[in-house]
Structure formats: structure tokens, C-alpha cells
Amino acid sequence: MTLRIPTSEQRFVLEHVVGLRDLITSNVYEHLSEGLADAIIEGAASFAENEFAPLNRLGDTQGAKWAHGQVRMPAGYKEAYASFVENGWATVSAPAGIGGQGLPHIFGSLVFEDIGTANMGFSLISMLTAGAIEALLAHGSEEQMDIWLPKLVTGEWSGTMNLTEPQAGSDVGALRTSATPAGDGLFRINGQKIFITFGDHDLTENIVHLVLARLPDAPGGTKGISLFLVPKFRLDADGAPTIDNHVRCVSIEHKLGIHASPTCVMAFGEDGDCLGELIGAENAGMRAMFTMMNNARINVGGQGVQIAERARQLAHAYARERMQSPRADGSSLGNAVPIVEHPDVRRMLLRMNALTQGARALYYYAAGQIDRAHWGDNQAAARVDLLTPLVKSYCTDVGCEVASLGIQVHGGMGFIEETGAAQHYRDARILPIYEGTNGIQAADLVGRKLAGDRGIALRALLAEIRAEAGDQSNLMILADEVEDVASWMLNRPVNDRLSGSYPFLRMVAVLVSGWLMARQGRIARSMEQDPGANWTFLAGKRAAAAFTGDCIVPEAIGLSASAMVGAALFYGDLTEEALAE
Ligand SMILES: Cc1cc2nc3c(=O)[nH]c(=O)nc-3n(C[C@H](O)[C@H](O)[C@H](O)COP(=O)(O)OP(=O)(O)OC[C@H]3O[C@@H](n4cnc5c(N)ncnc54)[C@H](O)[C@@H]3O)c2cc1C
């Protein structure tokens, strides 16, 4: 099936959820206009459809390969990546002063969405690089920015993020990689990192690793972690990456999905001096890393939207071709009809649409708030903080659910690799795990985000939703339930909060995406009378919004009991032995 990037949907959400006109009239972005926005929407879609999408299957079947300490990408990847760089797609939302196009963050998100919908595994190289750029911009010195940023921004060099070690997964504070002063402001890095995305590959001439490590005598836990920039090749007197820095990829993982993304075991300084530069202050590495992780968490949420879109399109195409059984009401006169005509298949297809569009609305809304926060809007900055765990967790859960429904729509053929539905399901499964598992996101929501400000940011969001929700009674009921659960949480011990954190996160995420879908449904209805309106698109939008309000929002209302169940159910006299029975 040929991928079609949903440009009408992107334009609609940009206008009605992000507020494209506000961005244009803000005068923050010198060249931004409706014409330029259209050119980016169309150009990025065409690039992704024609250059990244055709390589998706090969990436899955052939995958990245490791041999003799080096990773090789599948055939065609090098050329496609070079074309991505040459066409300037990496630079869209980077600041103009460092070689970027200076456009709003949301346009960078849109490019990620397109290349990730086309080929999720491959697109990770650029997502990790964007995180490294963000961390350097926020915490690097002028000199570090001058040296490292220009080629990271164009994509000529790629970036990575090195946190995980065998004993330090969710518990980043347990990491042991060491950094010892080596003179001239440099540090000798020693240790091994696991699961490093695009830790090695043959697409760029250098790889800039951002590595968390401990200085001698650093305090224990997260308070003693510092961030280092460790290039694969150090730069010679001419600034060329020619000096081996003893960063080795010692193997890559064999995994369930995203085979086009090499997941590397990295050894630093095992066979010679591996030198790194400190980024930011000593022992302030977690703060710097959070800059990178917050960016990456929202982008991983975007990956949930990408995989859902791809799985959704495949299922719709199949459902219109596969003939099975006459219609139950006899109207097909005993003749078999395409399965899309059967009510339960239609339910699955509309559910896939509603979940995908709701997740996209949440993701774009968060990206739009990031832009407003960049202009100094403090309420938007607080909202981004609150939204980050919602976007990461809910959108990736949606990615898995939609990819699973995609298999169901295909029936037995969905379980067979040739249709491609299985690849989306396998690819989607990493999303709730990496970049902080969804359980860790839920803990972040009820801890730092809710208890941290005693519910102020959440109440501001609720007020905005209630002011707009008006006639949407399900949405109003959900808003009341969210408020009740939040008050309950604020008055309970931490274990009670954590025991209900996951269902609570889903309630809040469905509330926000349901609010944004209801708005889109109203606007779609009002536009249907316009001469020249894209009626098919508007009817689809109206149906997805109605399904969200009538079916998905009530499911979330039903979650309040499990959100307030309390820790006693999981502990008390329930020993670990009894739990395992
Ligand atoms: C394909 C892939 C790519 C990756 N890319 C990178 C990368 O580029 N850079 C990098 O540094 N890392 C990367 N990772 C690592 C990834 O971020 C970790 O796997 C993830 O953070 C979880 O850590 P863990 O696997 O050790 O699981 P664990 O921390 O062992 O967690 C196991 C389970 O316990 C739960 N859990 C653990 N602690 C708590 C707690 N305190 N409260 C509640 N629940 C808890 C988790 O939610 C999870 O369900 C990647 C991993 C994979 C598989």
C-alpha cells in the first residue's frame, strides 16, 4: 500500500489546535506565512512518501547489521539520509543563528511526523540529534556551540543520548560510567552503555554522543551525574573529524521491532583514551539531560501518532478490498461485501481514526505550547511540563492499540508478515518503554506535575476546558472526575497516588484530546456548508470527534474507580508469593 501523509488533517490541526495564525502574527518568525506553511506541509509529505517510505519494509526485513565493530545500514539508507540533509529538512525549526530556518518548533514536529510515519525506525536518527542540539543550546558553552552545533543542525553529524547501563535503567542515578580530569578541560570517559539508539551507523562522518558519567568523588545518585560531549572522532587542527576517540560499538541488539534503528552496546575508552568535554556544570548532568529528555519524550509521543497513522491507513485499504459474508440486514441480497461494510469492522476503523486524531491533537497542542513558551509565555511553559508525560504515555499507548486493531482488521492475514500490519505492531511496542517507561511518566504526572504545584497547572487547564466544552456533557463529567481524583491524590500518601497514577494519566490525556477533538468536530460541522469545502475530510473529522465524545471519553470516566483504588489492594497481606499465585 502506498503511504499518503494526511496533509489535510495536518493543515486543519495546525489551524484549529495550534493556532497557526497566532504564530504568523506573533512577529517572532520573520518569514512565516500561510504560503510557507503550505510549502512545508506539502514538501515534507512528498519527501517522506517518496524517499523514506519505500525503504520501510527493507529496514524491517534486512535491518541494521553489525560486523567488525561497525554498523551498516540497509541498502538505500545512506542515499535517502543524504537527500534529507541536502534538502534542509533537518534544519526547519533550529534557530537561524546556528544555520537553522528559525521556524516554529511545530514545523520541526511536522517533519518528524512525516518521516516517522514513512519509516519510524530510520527517523530515530534525526530525533536523537534534535535532542542533542536542544541540550547543547541550553547548557553548552559558546565555544561548544560554535564547534559542534553547525553540523548537528544540518544533520551532517548525528547525536545520541547515553544514559542506560545494565544496572541503571529507570534508575538513572545508579549509573557507573566514570569521567576523570585529563587536563585542558577534557575528561577521560570509561564505561559501557547499553541500548544506545543509533550509537553507531554509516550515515554521517561523525557521531556526537552525549554521555552521563560520574566525576571522581561525585555524590551518589542523580546528584552526582555530569553530562559530557564525547565525539566518535575528535577534530583535528582543521576542524575535521579524523582522530579516533576510542568509542566502540561492541554489538547491536536483536529485537522485536524498529530493525532500521541500530540499538547499540557502546564501550567508551576500553582500548585507548576516550576524551569528553563537560557540558554545563559539574554534577548538574541530570538537569541538562532533562532538557534533552523532555524534548525526546514529546517526540516519542509523536512516534505513537506516526505508527497509528501508518497502521490505520493499511487497515482501511484492506477493509475495502477483503470480501467476506453478506450484510447482516440482508441488503446485499446474499452477496459477500467488503468487510468495511460490517458494523464491527466499521467500529474498529472509526476507533482507529478517533484515537489517532485525538493523539495527534494532543501532540500538536503540546508542540504549539512549546512555541508559546519560547516567546516567554509562562503559563504555556507550565502547561508543557504538565503535558509532557501525557503526550509521551497516552500517544504511545494509542500507537500500540491502533497497531493491534490494525492486525485485527486484517484477521489471519494481519498475523502474517507479508501484509506489513505485523511490522507496525512490532515497531509500536517499544514506544511505551523507552524514554522513561509509561509507568515512570505516570509517576511524574502525580508527583512532580500534580503534587509539585499542588494542582495549580492542572486546575488552569481544567478551567480552560470547561469554558469551551459547553454542551459536551461527557467531557464535563470527565473534567469533574479528573478534579475529584486529583483532590483525592493530593490528600493521600505517595503509595496511594502511585497505585492509581496510570489510570489517572489516561483520564487526563483523554480529557485534553477529547476537548481538542470536540473543538475540531464543531468547526468541521460549521464548515460543511462552505462552497468548495472538502466534504469527505470534514465528514470523517465529524465522525471521529463524535466517536471520541460518545465512546472514548466515557471509557475514561470509568477509570476513576481504579485511579482511587489505593495501595492497600496491592500490599496489605498480599505477599509477593501470594501475588505470584
Ligand atoms: C530499542 C531501545 C532503544 C533505546 N534507546 C536508548 C537510548 O538511545 N539511550 C539510552 O540511554 N537508553 C535507551 N534505551 C533504554 C530505555 O530508555 C530503557 O530500557 C527504559 O528507560 C527502561 O529501563 P529498563 O529497560 O532498565 O527497565 P527497568 O527500569 O528495569 O523497568 C522494568 C519495569 O519496572 C518498572 N519500574 C522500574 N522502576 C520503577 C519505579 N520506580 N516505579 C514504578 N515502576 C518502575 C518500569 O516501568 C518497567 O515496567 C533504549 C531501550 C530500547 C529497548
Grid cell, residue 278, equals 563537560
- CA distance linking residue 18 with residue 358, whole number of Å: 14
Q: What is the pLDDT of residue 61?
A: 97
At 470, the pLDDT band (50, 70, 90 cuts) reads: confident
Find the mean pLDDT for residues 228-245.
98
Residue closest by Cα to atom 16 of ligand 1: 434
Tell which one of 124, 434, 441, 499 to mutate to probe ligand 1, the residue whose CB is within 8 A of the most ligand atoms: 434
Q: What is the pLDDT of residue 389?
A: 98
- CA distance linking residue 321 with residue 413, whole number of Å: 13
Cα dihedral sign for 333, 339, 344, 347? negative
Whose cell is 440482508? That residue is 330
At 295, the pLDDT band (50, 70, 90 cuts) reads: confident
Residue closest by Cα to atom 30 of ligand 1: 169
Grid cell, residue 568, equals 492497600
Burial class (CB in 10 A: 0-12, 13-18, 19+), 551: middle
1-15, 138-152, 282-296 — which is least confidently predicted? Answer: 282-296
Grid cell, residue 293, equals 529528555
Helices 378-410 and 501-527 pack at an angle, to 10 degrees, of: 90
pLDDT in tens, 184-203: 999 999 999 999 999 999 99
Residue 472 has pLDDT above 80, yes or no: no
At 292, the pLDDT band (50, 70, 90 cuts) reads: confident
Grid cell, residue 487, equals 483532590
Ligand 1 atom nearest to CA at 199: 8
pLDDT in tens, 491-502: 999 999 999 999
Query: pTM to 2 decimals?
Result: 0.97
Three-state DSSP state, 195 = strand
Q: What is the pLDDT of residue 101?
A: 95
Residue 287 has pLDDT above 80, yes or no: yes
Query: What positions carry a catalytic annotation?
Result: 435
To the nearest whole percent, how much of the chain has pLDDT over 90? 94
Cα dihedral sign for 417, 423, 426, 429? negative
At 542, the pLDDT band (50, 70, 90 cuts) reads: very high
CA–centroid distance, 197 to ligand 1, in Å, is: 13
Find the mean pLDDT for residues 98-102.
94
Whose cell is 564501550? That residue is 267
The answer for residues whose C-beta is within 8 angstroms of residue 138's C-beta and 6 or more apart is 288, 291
Ligand 1 atom nearest to CA at 161: 9
Q: What is the pLDDT of residue 142?
A: 97
349-358, 409-418, 420-429, 523-532 — which is least confidently predicted? Answer: 523-532
- Ligand 1 lined by 263 (C-beta under 6 Å): yes
Residue 30 has pLDDT above 90, yes or no: no
CA distance readout (Å), 558 to 85, 405, 423, 551: 47, 22, 32, 11
pLDDT in tens, 407-419: 999 999 999 999 9
pLDDT in tens, 166-188: 999 999 999 999 999 999 999 99
CA–centroid distance, 440 to ligand 1, in Å, is: 9
- Ligand 1 lined by 170 (C-beta under 6 Å): yes
Contact predicate 203/158, CB 8 Å: yes
Whose cell is 509539585? That residue is 452
Q: What is the pLDDT of residue 31?
A: 87
Q: What is the pLDDT of residue 290?
A: 82
Q: What is the pLDDT of residue 288?
A: 87
Residue 471 has pLDDT above 80, yes or no: no
Burial class (CB in 10 A: 0-12, 13-18, 19+), 185: exposed
- CA distance linking residue 558 with residue 220, whole number of Å: 42
To the nearest whole percent, how much of the chain has pLDDT over 70? 100
Tell which one of 164, 253, 290 to mutate to probe ligand 1, the residue whose CB is within 8 A of the most ligand atoms: 164
Bridge partners of 268, per DSSP, are: 191, 247
Burial class (CB in 10 A: 0-12, 13-18, 19+), 110: buried
Residue closest by Cα to atom 29 of ligand 1: 170
- CA distance linking residue 311 with residue 317, whole number of Å: 10
- Ligand 1 lined by 438 (C-beta under 6 Å): no
- Ligand 1 lined by 523 (C-beta under 6 Å): no
Residue closest by Cα to atom 19 of ligand 1: 434
Ligand 1 atom nearest to CA at 212: 11
CA dihedral 5, 261, 305, 137 (to 10 degrees): -100
- Ligand 1 lined by 443 (C-beta under 6 Å): yes
Pairing of strands 263-268, 207-213: unpaired
Cα angle for residues 379, 97, 138 (degrees, 5° grid): 50
The answer for residues whose C-beta is within 8 angstroms of residue 478's C-beta and 6 or more apart is 507, 510, 511, 514, 553, 556, 557
Tell which one of 195, 201, 268 to mutate to probe ligand 1, the residue whose CB is within 8 A of the most ligand atoms: 195
**Mean model confidence pLDDT for the chain:** 96
- Ligand 1 lined by 440 (C-beta under 6 Å): yes
DSSP 165: B
- Ligand 1 lined by 433 (C-beta under 6 Å): yes
Selection from 428, 358, 365, 435 nearest residue 396 by Cα: 428
Contact predicate 252/261, CB 8 Å: no
At 293, the pLDDT band (50, 70, 90 cuts) reads: confident
Find the mean pLDDT for residues 305-313.
98
CA–centroid distance, 194 to ligand 1, in Å, is: 11
CA–centroid distance, 170 to ligand 1, in Å, is: 5
